[in-house]
Amino acid sequence: MRNKIYNDKRAMSAIVTTVIIVALALVAIGIVWAVINNILNESSGDVDFSQKCIDSIVSATSASCNSTGGCNVTLERTSGSIDIGGVKLIFSNSTTKGSAQTIEGNIAEFGVKSVTSVGVANATKVEVVTYFEDDAGLAKNCPGSTTYNF
């Protein structure tokens, strides 16, 4: 009777087939999990960055520019305790929008910072864009900005 069990090829074939199907199912589950996990990890970084931007509002509280484009701006940070990389100032008047001027360095929460920058001659408006530095030290601008008209 013992030889009959070992010699029954149909019984062995069913066992091997079952093991192969279970192994393929486990491999498929592993592949799907790896893809989903990768997507979730990439998305969480964007959420963290967006939350930093929402929590870190920097705006101009006063500004003045002369006819040669020299501008004095007072910046105030109204929220956010996470260090920022700095701000970018974009000056404009009724006909011209200047390029972004980078002001490096953190502004503490509820802190005030006065800066002198080169803007557009006879500027009437300044936009303030907050940025953070990523792991590589590159500036990553927040999507929104604040505007001060003077």
**Strands (DSSP E) found in the chain:** 58-65, 70-77, 86-92, 101-104, 112-118, 125-133, 139-141, 146-149
Pair (83, 127) in one structural domain = yes
pTM over the 0.75 mark: no
Query: Tokens 């953190």 label which residue?
Result: 106
Pair (33, 88) in one structural domain = no
For the chain, residues with pLDDT lower than 50 are 1
At 41, give phi and psi (nearest 5°): -70, -40
CB 39 within 8 A of CB 32: no
Confidence at residue 111, expressed as pLDDT on a 0 to 100 scale: 94
Confidence at residue 7, expressed as pLDDT on a 0 to 100 scale: 60
Among 12, 27, 52, give the residue marking a domain's end. 52
Which domain range does residue 112 map to? 57-149
| Torsion, Cα of 121, 89, 98, 148 (10° steps) | -60
Question: Which among 71, 53, 56, 60 is positioned nearest to 146, based on CA atoms?
Answer: 60
Confidence at residue 5, expressed as pLDDT on a 0 to 100 scale: 54
Among 52, 72, 92, give the residue marking a domain's end. 52
The domain tally of the chain equals 2
Pair (118, 141) in one structural domain = yes
Confidence at residue 101, expressed as pLDDT on a 0 to 100 scale: 92
